[in-house]
């Protein structure tokens, strides 16, 4: 310690210092638990996109886009939309999959650990991506 700092340890009330340290520990622990509790209750939704599915109806095969929505959080999440919007990173245009084939009815409450999927024919999206020169982009 520098010479100009002098602490007279006999003047410290150790009961007060111990109580202060215990209160600081308790407040820190309570704050940590509160933040952890709030984070665990947030919806944790994972959306995956695939353009390699085929819908087979009899002898007709139609290329499909499939979007899977899964809830990995600990709280419910409600979905009101029946369409999916996709954007290529760095491009201002959003591409809409309107009225896809859906296995649920909207509004739909997605419970923790549950998922649902949407499917839509791929031809319209492919045509729109070609028109915007974005067909071979991978950053959707």
Which tens digits make up the pLDDT trace of 88-105?
Answer: 777 777 777 777 778 888
Cβ neighbours around 129 below 10 Å, total:
20
Torsion angle of the four alpha carbons 49, 50, 51, 55, in this order, in degrees rounded to the nearest 10: -110
Q: Is the pLDDT score of 140 beyond 60?
A: no
**In contact, 122 and 51? CB cutoff 8 Å:** yes
Residues 72 and 124 in one domain: yes
Residue 18: the pLDDT is 93
Residue 124 is part of which domain span?
45-131
24, exposed or middle or buried, with CB in 10 Å at 0-12, 13-18, 19+?
exposed
Between 119 and 86, the higher pLDDT residue: 119
- pLDDT digit string (tens) for 7-63? 887 888 889 999 999 999 999 999 999 998 888 777 788 988 888 878 888 888 888
Residues 27 and 53 in one domain: no
Q: What residues contact 1, with CB distance under 8 A and at least 6 apart?
A: 7
Structural domain count, the chain: 2
Residues 28 and 91 in one domain: no
pTM, two decimals, is 0.60
């Amino acid at each position: 310690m520098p010479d100009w700092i002098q602490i007279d340890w006999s003047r410290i009330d150790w009961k007060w210092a111990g109580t202060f340290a215990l209160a600081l520990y308790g407040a820190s622990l309570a704050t940590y638990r509160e933040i952890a509790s709030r984070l665990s209750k947030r919806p944790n939704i994972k959306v995956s996109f695939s353009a390699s599915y085929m819908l087979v109806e009899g002898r007709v095969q139609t290329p499909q886009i499939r979007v899977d929505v899964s809830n990995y959080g600990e709280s419910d999440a409600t979905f009101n939309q029946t369409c999916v919007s996709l954007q290529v990173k760095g491009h201002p245009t959003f591409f809409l999959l309107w009225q896809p084939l859906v296995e649920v009815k909207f509004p739909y409450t997605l419970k923790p650990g549950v998922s649902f999927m949407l499917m839509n024919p791929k031809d319209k999206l492919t045509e729109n991506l070609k028109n915007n020169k974005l067909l071979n982009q991978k950053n959707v």
